[in-house]
Amino acid sequence: MKYEEIKLVNNEVGHRFELTVEGYTAFIDYKIKKDKAYLIHTEAPEELKGKGVAEALVEKTLIYLEEQHLKLVPLCPYVQLFLKRHPDWNRLVAE
Protein backbone atom coordinates (compact mmCIF):
# COMPACT_ATOMS: atom_id res chain seq x y z
CA MET A 1 0.00 0.00 0.00
CA LYS A 2 1.20 3.47 -0.83
CA TYR A 3 -1.35 5.48 1.18
CA GLU A 4 -1.51 8.22 -1.48
CA GLU A 5 -4.78 9.51 -0.06
CA ILE A 6 -3.33 10.08 3.42
CA LYS A 7 -1.65 13.43 3.95
CA LEU A 8 1.75 13.75 5.58
CA VAL A 9 1.62 16.07 8.59
CA ASN A 10 4.64 18.18 9.50
CA ASN A 11 4.22 18.56 13.26
CA GLU A 12 6.64 21.46 13.66
CA VAL A 13 6.02 21.77 17.41
CA GLY A 14 6.83 18.09 17.99
CA HIS A 15 9.62 18.08 15.37
CA ARG A 16 8.19 15.07 13.58
CA PHE A 17 6.56 14.03 10.34
CA GLU A 18 3.38 12.05 10.96
CA LEU A 19 1.16 9.68 9.01
CA THR A 20 -2.08 8.55 10.66
CA VAL A 21 -3.56 5.27 9.41
CA GLU A 22 -6.52 3.44 10.94
CA GLY A 23 -6.40 5.81 13.93
CA TYR A 24 -2.73 5.11 14.68
CA THR A 25 0.13 7.51 14.02
CA ALA A 26 3.55 6.57 12.66
CA PHE A 27 6.22 9.26 12.82
CA ILE A 28 9.76 10.33 12.01
CA ASP A 29 11.53 12.56 14.52
CA TYR A 30 13.59 15.27 12.83
CA LYS A 31 15.67 18.39 13.28
CA ILE A 32 16.09 20.99 10.57
CA LYS A 33 19.19 23.18 10.54
CA LYS A 34 19.69 25.61 7.68
CA ASP A 35 19.12 23.59 4.49
CA LYS A 36 19.46 20.13 6.08
CA ALA A 37 16.84 17.81 7.56
CA TYR A 38 18.20 15.30 10.05
CA LEU A 39 15.88 12.29 10.19
CA ILE A 40 16.55 10.81 13.62
CA HIS A 41 14.05 8.06 14.39
CA THR A 42 11.15 6.33 12.64
CA GLU A 43 8.43 4.59 14.62
CA ALA A 44 5.20 2.83 13.69
CA PRO A 45 2.72 1.46 16.24
CA GLU A 46 2.53 -2.32 16.53
CA GLU A 47 -0.95 -2.20 14.98
CA LEU A 48 0.51 -0.83 11.72
CA LYS A 49 3.54 -3.11 11.41
CA GLY A 50 3.73 -5.08 8.17
CA LYS A 51 1.29 -2.79 6.36
CA GLY A 52 3.85 -0.62 4.55
CA VAL A 53 3.07 2.45 6.63
CA ALA A 54 6.68 3.19 7.66
CA GLU A 55 7.81 2.91 4.04
CA ALA A 56 5.01 5.24 2.89
CA LEU A 57 5.93 7.66 5.69
CA VAL A 58 9.58 7.79 4.62
CA GLU A 59 8.65 8.22 0.96
CA LYS A 60 6.20 11.04 1.71
CA THR A 61 8.81 12.69 3.94
CA LEU A 62 11.44 12.55 1.19
CA ILE A 63 8.99 14.06 -1.29
CA TYR A 64 8.32 16.86 1.21
CA LEU A 65 12.06 17.47 1.74
CA GLU A 66 12.64 17.63 -2.00
CA GLU A 67 9.76 20.10 -2.46
CA GLN A 68 11.24 22.27 0.32
CA HIS A 69 14.74 22.09 -1.25
CA LEU A 70 16.16 20.47 1.89
CA LYS A 71 19.09 18.05 1.94
CA LEU A 72 18.79 14.82 3.88
CA VAL A 73 20.97 13.59 6.74
CA PRO A 74 19.68 10.05 7.37
CA LEU A 75 20.55 9.24 10.99
CA CYS A 76 17.68 6.77 11.39
CA PRO A 77 18.56 3.14 10.55
CA TYR A 78 15.15 2.60 8.92
CA VAL A 79 15.64 5.62 6.64
CA GLN A 80 19.13 4.32 5.77
CA LEU A 81 17.60 0.94 4.86
CA PHE A 82 14.95 2.67 2.75
CA LEU A 83 17.71 4.51 0.84
CA LYS A 84 19.50 1.22 0.15
CA ARG A 85 16.27 -0.24 -1.25
CA HIS A 86 15.46 2.93 -3.23
CA PRO A 87 18.85 4.38 -4.28
CA ASP A 88 17.25 6.99 -6.53
CA TRP A 89 16.44 8.95 -3.35
CA ASN A 90 20.16 9.29 -2.56
CA ARG A 91 19.98 12.45 -4.65
CA LEU A 92 18.73 14.18 -1.49
CA VAL A 93 21.53 13.02 0.81
CA ALA A 94 23.74 15.87 2.01
CA GLU A 95 27.41 15.61 1.09
2 confidence band (pLDDT: 50, 70, 90): low
Whether residue 18 contacts residue 11, with contact meaning beta carbons closer than 8 Å, is answered with yes
Of all helices (H) and strands (E), which one includes residue 1?
A: none
- Mean predicted confidence (pLDDT) in 83-87: 97
Q: Can you tell me the distance from the alpha carbon of 27 to that of 65, in angstroms, rounded to the nearest whole number?
A: 15
What sign results for the dihedral spanned by CA atoms 41, 48, 87, 33? negative
| Nearest to 69, CA basis, from 92, 87, 90, 88 | 92
For residue 18, list its beta bridge partners.
9, 27
Can you give the pTM of this predicted structure?
0.95
pLDDT of residue 3: 86
- Give the pLDDT confidence of 20-36 residue by residue, as tens digits: 999 999 999 999 999 99
pLDDT of residue 1: 52
Q: Can you tell me the distance from the alpha carbon of 55 to that of 57, in angstroms, rounded to the nearest whole number?
A: 5
pLDDT of residue 77: 98
pLDDT of residue 4: 86
- Give the pLDDT confidence of 51-82 residue by residue, as tens digits: 999 999 999 999 999 999 999 999 999 999 99
Tell me how many helices (H) and strands (E) the chain has: 2, 5
